[in-house]
Amino acid sequence: MATTRWLDEDEQRTWRLFMLATKQLWARLERDMDQGTEVPSAYYETLVRLSEAPDRRLRLSDLADQSQSSRSRLSHSLSRLEALGWIRREACVSDRRGAYAVLTDEGFRALEAAAPVHVESVRRHLFDALDADQLLQLRTISHRLLQNLGEAGETARDIQELMGALGIPPSNGDRIS
């Protein structure tokens, strides 16, 4: 039976600071989006993914993978976005079980209005708080965490594909293997 590798005082402090900082960052980003735009923060990423896809459309399975969302959670989100008129679903003619989500012009306009609020919030709460060296460290740490998570559960290739889907091209030293 393995022995528990308890955190020492410094590790416990680091863990709790990291956990609190990331929770507070996401809470601030969500609050800024929810207060400053018509786009609920929970749906922003879905609209962004669709806006960046060819013809502003993605298969539902690809959209779920890219947003790391369960199929049922995505379906609920898409129902809400459909009710707002921001997306529409289309059947896949080559695969009867498949379907597409398509960003409508109205949805694109809502996203265009929300994007400056989102970007300003990210800049204010993350980038403006760190200097260039700290941002490089954050990037390096984030890549290492993804690398470790790939080793722990998902394959490194899955993590690399996820990074590509997120628009994070590997550069020198970033490649996960």
CA separation for the pair 97, 170 (Å, rounded): 34
Number of independent structural domains in the chain: 2
Residue 16 lies inside a defined structural domain of this protein:
no
Residues 105 and 51 reside in one and the same domain: yes
Residue 175 lies inside a defined structural domain of this protein:
yes
pTM for this predicted structure: 0.78
Beta bridge partners of 103: 87
Contact at 8 Å (CB) between 5 and 11? no
pLDDT tens-place values along the chain, 177 residues long: 789 999 999 999 999 999 999 999 999 999 999 999 999 998 999 999 999 999 999 999 899 888 888 888 899 999 999 999 999 999 988 877 789 999 999 999 999 999 999 999 999 999 999 999 999 999 999 989 988 887 655 445 556 666 666 666 554 444 433
CA separation for the pair 7, 134 (Å, rounded): 25
Last residue of a domain, one of 114, 142, 164: 114
Buried b / exposed e along 141-151 (16+ C-beta atoms within 10 A): eebeebbeebe
Residue 40 lies inside a defined structural domain of this protein:
yes
Residue 14 to residues 17, 19, 146, 176, Cα–Cα distance (Å)? 5, 9, 18, 25
Domain that residue 167 falls in: 130-177
* The pLDDT of residue 66: 87
Residue 104 lies inside a defined structural domain of this protein:
yes
State both tokens at 29. Answer: 């980003």
CA separation for the pair 142, 136 (Å, rounded): 10
List the 99-103 sheet strands across, edge first. 57-59, 99-103, 87-91
